[in-house]
Amino acid sequence: MNRSSSVRSSFRRLRCFTALVVLSAAVSTTPQASATTTPREASVQAGFSVDRLARLEKSMNDWVQRGWIPGCVALVIRDGHVAFFRAAGYDDVEARKPLQTDAIFRIASQTKAVTSVAIMMLMEDGRLLLDDPVSKYLPAYRKQQVLASFNAADGTTTTTVPAKRDITIRDLLTHTSGLGYAVIGSREATTLYGKANIPAGLGVHGDDLLAAMNRLAAIPLMHQPGERWTYGLNTDLLGCLVEQISGQSLDAFFRERIFQPLGMNDTYFRVPDAKAGRLVQLYRETSAGKLEKHPGQVLGDQTIAPNYPLEDHTYFSGGAGLSSTISDYGAFLQMLLNGGTLNGHRILSASSVRLMTQHQIGTLGFNSAGDDFGLGFGIVSERSERRTPSSRGTFSWGGAFATSYWVDPTERMVFILYRQVQPTTKGEVVELFRNLVYQAIESPAKSTPSLAR
């Protein structure tokens, strides 16, 4: 290694350690964390084998060298200690610009958990009940229709039947309302929503959230409320409800009620110009399996400039709109793991977190693994725990641009992997990462699992 390479390597280690000290202070739930703790010491305090954690770092670098990903950032917090916090690879492959741990990523559907928390906060404020009909707040959702038949040949001819009941806030939180997804949903939903100009939530300009959600109400539901689990625009509608009930924009509500108390100072619907240089370059995988910078074709046929989080807008998508750092989101998840509190700031009661992270959809199927589904999260179930190293009760989700997170209450652990590739065929990276985290655990969690099943 030449002198300049050595200096760059030393600088990156110093920057990573400085970020780790700041993050340790943000997520600490015990008096054991301090600014003098080294990364190695923090890993040991968290109950990890340092040698086995090295396998994770090596694998991250291997994924980059194989061309599977341009780069990634990983974060593991256990027992309130930051056990692992590393970046590997590049922000810009062609320019050989290293990816940093404080990089800002488009987190897309990871926005859903934040919106779900906002709804639970309004419930705790006495402003709503989970089984309230949406029509109580948005009259357009009274007496909706349900799709009975769809003519795929012309994409227009449909027949409908009346909904058996109005959809509820709980239906939205559990994705059982019958709403579909624009662009990435079923053929029926994609066609009907496209004709009504219903967006998927990313890079929307010249539209109004309330107006779009009222247009959505006029389109038939994909099935009767409560009869199936269907991933859809439920959380965008929840975001609209937050705005209507609170009298604030979703951006303002998040900032004042969630982000500022948790110290999430790098999480935005619109990344400010002063931080634009930290927004990660978006890549895509070509049909030949090669990585290239994304030209702007995002999510099916929806064209969005790769720098959409840098553009001014007022359409705040509760289902997909946020960009954030891995450390900011780690603090948010640690708050949930702690039963709704972090560093003296209570965001939710422990009972609300319990509701969010327990099974809510009865016998309805969620995925082929047999996982449960709560109020905004997939949850490892008694049926599915045999297929994964994660403990029963682990809750998780991810984002369309290859970001993923897990919270394991039994292990008292938050672990997150951020990439920025869409589309990609290297989905196994997610499971490889999860396995590598669990194989490095050397001793039991010290804290009493407050949310364990």
Domains annotated for the chain, with CATH where assigned, are 3-107+270-312+325-439 (3.40.710.10), 129-243 (no CATH)
The DSSP call for residue 254 is I
pLDDT digits (tens, 9 = 90+) for 137-193: 999 999 999 999 988 777 677 899 999 999 999 999 999 999 999 888 899 999 999
- Output the pLDDT for position 18: 43
pLDDT at 285: 93
3-state DSSP call for residue 191?
helix
pLDDT band at 271 (very low <50, low <70, confident <90, very high): very high
**What's the pLDDT at 205?**
83
Q: Note the pLDDT tens digit of each residue in 30-64.
A: 333 445 678 899 999 999 999 999 999 999 999 99
Residue range 392-411, pLDDT digits in tens: 999 999 999 999 999 999 99
| Interhelix angle 234-246/209-217, nearest 10 degrees | 120
User: What single string gives the DSSP state of each residue in 73-97?
Assistant: EEEEEETTEEEEEEEEEEEETTTTE
CB 229 within 8 A of CB 174: yes
pTM, full prediction: 0.91
86: Cβ contacts below 8 Å, ≥ 6 apart: 16, 56, 57, 60, 73, 74, 101
Q: Answer whether residue 19 shows pLDDT above 80.
A: no
pLDDT band, very low/low/confident/very high, at 308 (cuts 50, 70, 90)? confident
Torsion of CA 252, 114, 321, 281, to 10 degrees: 110
User: With contact defined as beta carbons under 8 Å apart, do 201 and 236 qualify?
Assistant: yes
* Residue 21 in this model has a pLDDT that exceeds 50: no
- Measure the CA–CA gap between 129 and 253, rounded to whole angstroms: 19
Measuring CA to CA, how many Å separate 9 from each of 75, 196, 220?
Answer: 20, 52, 57
pLDDT band at residue 294 under the 50/70/90 scheme: confident
pLDDT at 154: 73
